[in-house]
Structure 1
Amino acid sequence: MKSGHRRFRWPALLGLALAACSAVLVTYSLSNSLSPRLVHTEPSEFAPVLVIDEYGQRCMNFEKIKDRGRQTCFDVSDPDVMVFDYTRMMTSALFVKPDPRNVLMVGLGGGTIPIALAKILPDAVVDTVEIDPAVLRVAEAYFGFKQGARQRVFVGDGRAFIEKAQREGRTYDLVMLDAFDVDYIPAHLLTREFLQHLRAILTPDGVVVANTFTNSTMYERESATYAAVFGEFFNLRAGNRVIIASRGPLPDDGVLKKNAAALAHALKPFGIDVERELQRFSRHRDWSADAAVLTD
C-alpha cells in the first residue's frame, strides 16, 4: 500500500510544482509588462523626448521615464480614446464653439487633440505650432500623427507665430494652448501682453482654450490675467485646470447643453461623455480679487 500511495502522489506533486512555476511566470510576465519600458529616446536641443510603454499605453515624456506626469499617452488597444481628463476637457470647448473652420494648436505633444479634431471636424483646418522638431518627429514615428492639407505643423515659437498672424491679419475660430516644458508653461505664454496678441487673432466669436495646472503657484495670477483680457471665462477642473474664454460673450447653459447633445455621437469614440464634461463647466471666480496680473 505504501509503494502504491507514493506512485499516486508523485504525479500530483509534479503537477502542483508545474502549476506553481506557471503562476510565477505569469506573474513575472504581467509585472514586466506593467513596468515602464523605454522604447525610444529622441535627441533634442531642449530636452530628450522619451517614448515609453507601460500599462498598455504608449506615452511621451521629457528627460525622465518616471516623473510627475506624462506629456501624452494613448491606449494601444484603442488609440482614439483619450487617456487624460485634460484632453477631454479641452475638446469639450466645442460646446462653446461647435463649428470652427480653422483651429490653432500651440504645443503638439503626441498629437492627441489635433488627430481627434481632424476626425470630429472633417472640414476644418488644424494648424499646430511646435517649438521642438524632435517632438514632431516622435509624434509622427510613434503616435500616429500625420501631416496633410488639413493637418499642418509649423516648427517655431507659439508666441512668435501668433504675433506674426496678428501682423498679417490672419484669424482663428479656436485657439488651444497646450505648451509645456519640463517644468510648466513657458513664462512668455502667460502674460497679459501675450493674451492680448492672442485675442487679436480670434474671430469675433472665437474661443481660446488653455491647459494649466490646478495646483500651480501661478493659479491666482493666471486667473487674474485671463480675466483682465477676456472677462468672464469657464473654469474646468479635473486633475488639470482648463480655461475656456471667448472674444465674444460666453454661451448660456442652454446653448452649452444643445451643442453638447449635437456633438455626443461624434465625441463618444474618444471617450468623451458629454454629460460628465458639462458638469465641469463653471463660471465661479475662485481667485483673489487683488491677484496681480502677469506681464512681460
Structure 2
Amino acid sequence: MLKKMLSVRIWMPVVMLLIGFSAQSEVIYTQKSLYRDIAVVEKDGLRCLVFALVKGDSVQTCQYQDEHDQRLVYSYSQMVMGGLLLNPHPQRILVIGLGGASIPNVLTQLYPDAEMDIVELDPGVVKVARDYFHFQETPQTSVAVADGRVFVKRALLRKKKYDFIILDAFTGDYIPEHLMTREYLQEVQRLMTEDGVLVANTWSSSRLYAHESETYRQVFGPFFNFKIKQEQNYGNRIIIVGNGKQALPSRQVMQQRAKSLVKSLAPYNVLIDRYPALMSTKADWDRTARPLTDQYSPANLL
C-alpha cells in the first residue's frame, strides 16, 4: 500500500489542514483498532483510508467516490497488474494485505471465476473495506484475519497452491520485517504453482533496497524490477518473479500478452502495453548486501 507520510497525529481539522484537504473535506469514520488508529477521509471526489502512526499519518489507499469510476487511483496498484504479463489467466490467487481492497476488487471483476484468498491482520481494516470501499466477498473469495506468515505456514500444511500471489502488507511505516526474510519468501515460493507469479509491493527509496533485492534474488533468481518515474509514484517499486524454476518471459512475449490485456485493463487506468519496456532484470543494487533472514532483519535500523 502507498506509504505517503503525512505529518499529523490528530484526526479532525488538523488532519485536513496538514494533508491539504479543502474545507469541504470530511473525516467520515474513525476507529481505534487492535493495531492502529484508522480513519476514512473524503476529499475532492476521493475516499481514502488513513492509518495514524507515531511518526505521522499514512494514506494507505484511495478510491473514487463515484462507484462507476473503476480507475485505480495510485500507480503502485496499477503496477501490480504487471504480474499478469507472466500469467494472464490466474485461477488461484492469494493477496496478503487487504487495505482498502482496490486490488482484490479489480481482480474479482477481471477473474470472477478465480478462487481468491485474502489475508489481513487487522479486523478493523476488513470492516472498513466492506463498509466504505465496496469490498464484498463472493463464493470464490475468502478473507482470513491472520498474520501473513502464519497463514502461509498453515496453507503449506493444507498443501495449497496459487498461481498469482500478491504481497502487499504494510504497517504504514513499512513491510513487517518477518514478511521480508529469506525464510518467509522460501515458504511463499513453496505455495507457487509451476507457472506461479509473485508480485511484491515495496519501495525504491528505502534503505532496505539492496538487502530486499538481494533476498529476492537469492530465493527466486532473476526478477523483474518494475519502477515508474513520476511524482505520484512516491518511490514505489514492484518486484515480479516466477517460481524460480522457469525462465522469465522475454520482453517480446510480454508485449504480445499485453496486447490481449489492454482492453480489459483500460477501465482501471492500467496502461499494460507500456509495462514491458519498464520491467528490467538488471541488478541496480549492491550485490554484496546481506540478505534479510529470520536471524538478520534489522528493519528498525535500516
TM-score range, shorter-chain basis? 0.7 to 0.9
Rounded Cα–Cα distance in structure 2 between residues aligned with 1:194 and 1:68 = 28
- What residue in structure 2 maps to residue 154 of structure 1? 144
Q: Which runs of 5+ in 1 are unaligned?
A: 1-29
Deviates more, 1:127-136 or 1:147-156: 147-156
- What residue in structure 1 maps to residue 222 of structure 2? 232
- What residue in structure 2 maps to residue 181 of structure 1? 171
- What residue in structure 1 maps to residue 293 of structure 2? 295
Whether the aligned pair in 2 keeps the contact of 1:109 and 1:135 (CA below 8 Å) is yes
Structure 1 counterpart of 2:71, one-letter code? V
1:241 aligned onto 2:233: no
Q: State the Cα deviation string for residues 215-273 of structure 1 (Å, max 9, x = none).
A: 01100000000000000000111330100011132111111011111111110010111
How far has the Cα of 1:68 moved from its partner?
6.4
Q: Which runs of 5+ in 2 are unaligned?
A: 1-20, 295-302
Q: State the Cα deviation string for residues 4-41 of structure 1 (Å, max 9, x = none).
A: xxxxxxxxxxxxxxxxxxxxxxxxxx9423xx421101
Whether the aligned pair in 2 keeps the contact of 1:114 and 1:151 (CA below 8 Å) is no
Rounded Cα–Cα distance in structure 1 between residues aligned with 2:118 and 2:270 = 22
Deviates more, 1:78-87 or 1:176-185: 78-87
Structure 2 counterpart of 1:243, one-letter code? I
1:222 aligned onto 2:215: no
Match for residue 74 of structure 1 among 58, 63, 67: 63
Whether the aligned pair in 2 keeps the contact of 1:56 and 1:75 (CA below 8 Å) is yes
Whether the aligned pair in 1 keeps the contact of 2:226 and 2:239 (CA below 8 Å) is yes
How far has the Cα of 1:275 moved from its partner?
2.4
- What residue in structure 1 maps to residue 278 of structure 2? 280
Q: State the Cα deviation string for residues 86-130 of structure 1 (Å, max 9, x = none).
A: 001101210111111110000000110111001111221111000
- What residue in structure 2 maps to residue 168 of structure 1? 158
Match for residue 202 of structure 1 among 192, 209, 225: 192
How far has the Cα of 1:289 moved from its partner?
1.5
Match for residue 213 of structure 1 among 203, 222, 226: 203
User: What SS is found at the alignment partner of 1:71?
Assistant: strand
Rounded Cα–Cα distance in structure 2 between residues aligned with 1:53 and 1:178 = 23
Whether the aligned pair in 2 keeps the contact of 1:211 and 1:242 (CA below 8 Å) is yes
1:103 aligned onto 2:99: no
Structure 2 counterpart of 1:226, one-letter code? Y
How far has the Cα of 1:193 moved from its partner?
0.2
Rounded Cα–Cα distance in structure 1 between residues aligned with 2:78 and 2:280 = 16
Relative to the length of structure 1, the TM-score reads 0.86
Rounded Cα–Cα distance in structure 2 between residues aligned with 1:55 and 1:284 = 40
User: What SS is found at the alignment partner of 1:279?
Assistant: helix
- What residue in structure 2 maps to residue 84 of structure 1? 74
User: What SS is found at the alignment partner of 1:63?
Assistant: strand
What is the aligned residue count? Answer: 264
How far has the Cα of 1:67 moved from its partner?
4.8
How far has the Cα of 1:69 moved from its partner?
4.3
Identity of aligned residues (%): 39
Match for residue 120 of structure 2 among 117, 125, 130: 130
Structure 1 counterpart of 2:132, one-letter code? Y
Higher helix residue share:
1
Whether the aligned pair in 1 keeps the contact of 2:52 and 2:58 (CA below 8 Å) is no
1:269 aligned onto 2:260: no
Q: Structure 1 residues 149, 42: closer, same or farther in 2, change over 3 A?
A: same
Structure 2 counterpart of 1:37, one-letter code? E
- What residue in structure 2 maps to residue 38 of structure 1? 27
RMSD: 1.6
User: What SS is found at the alignment partner of 1:58?
Assistant: strand
Whether the aligned pair in 2 keeps the contact of 1:42 and 1:138 (CA below 8 Å) is no
How far has the Cα of 1:46 moved from its partner?
0.1
Q: State the Cα deviation string for residues 21-77 of structure 1 (Å, max 9, x = none).
A: xxxxxxxxx9423xx42110122010011101112200001116x956421101123
Structure 1 counterpart of 2:225, one-letter code? N
